[in-house]
Structure 1
């Protein structure tokens, strides 16, 4: 994490002062002016809710309509917000398991949501010990299923890969799902760098690993799906 942050500062120190949500909101207003619009209609979800809220705070007279979905609490930016997100993603994962159980005739993973969820965690333990297709380990599996937390439309595709692995020991479907949903290339690396820069510039973060570790252990006991994954994602 320290090396990542140091390299970012050395390579992009000239732009880092502008990598924050207030600067992004100012950029948004530049776009408004370029479009010659007196007011904007704004729809934002996830981080977009915070960006929209900041824009509306800075320029309330320039907002005609504002629709926010899956709202980031402005008092939780960003460490507490990510801890809260762990619970939200775990709820979404449980909803996915319930949906798979409801469609047992299609996926054959059982009709009990808790049983389906347990099967998913057994799959995670299995690929952590022996990565599926030599590519999909425990972390990669979480990255693959994370998009399902955002969009129900991905559930059938993810459920097919899940069922193929559990019922038929078929790793190809899981690898394909990972390559479609979890794997990242240069574009993903760029997005991640921007993400970490903005979150770092927006607010202070705990500087002692013991705080991160203790909070994550506490949350993992109740909401294990993305707790450690989210911690490592934000650690740099």
Structure 2
């Protein structure tokens, strides 16, 4: 049986998809602060200054494979994968086009599958690995106008549990962090009345901080969480409790 405390204390290679802004950036910064070698992905434009980054479009298998080859040749095999890249195309169901639905799933769910599958090749050689999927409380609660987004985020939970069944005995863990309403540039732009309505539904009475999401992700990737597999940690102030 693998000893959860036997993982090396040396800096690990951590890949955070969509780690150039928002919650993803905070997660990347947190791993970097503890000494890990963190690589983020960006789809377009130049990489942020001062960080290790590779260009990667998670909706393309070829792009994902090229990104992993670049990472492996430059920094070594990925040991921790945080699948965070995601998009939204919100609209009511009757107005949602098939492309609105499938394009969101292709990035949020199939994109996570692509990077997880590619990372697993390295995990099996290393005989260890950690996957953390960034879902959403919407994936367990649902939300009007987000049939596509909610479906994609719910799917991550099923995928994590299937991977756990397949690879749990290989010292590979696959877990999910489901943030609720987190203070980001997007939530900062919400009208006051909308913010007040959201606040009223959150038992904690406040939005979360990205650092609180990052802490949950870090813990799931730590040696102390080696026996935690196929689980969902909601970082939502109690919004989705009981679900």
Q: TM-score, normalised by structure 2?
A: 0.24
TM superposition score normalised by structure 1: 0.24
Higher helix share: 1
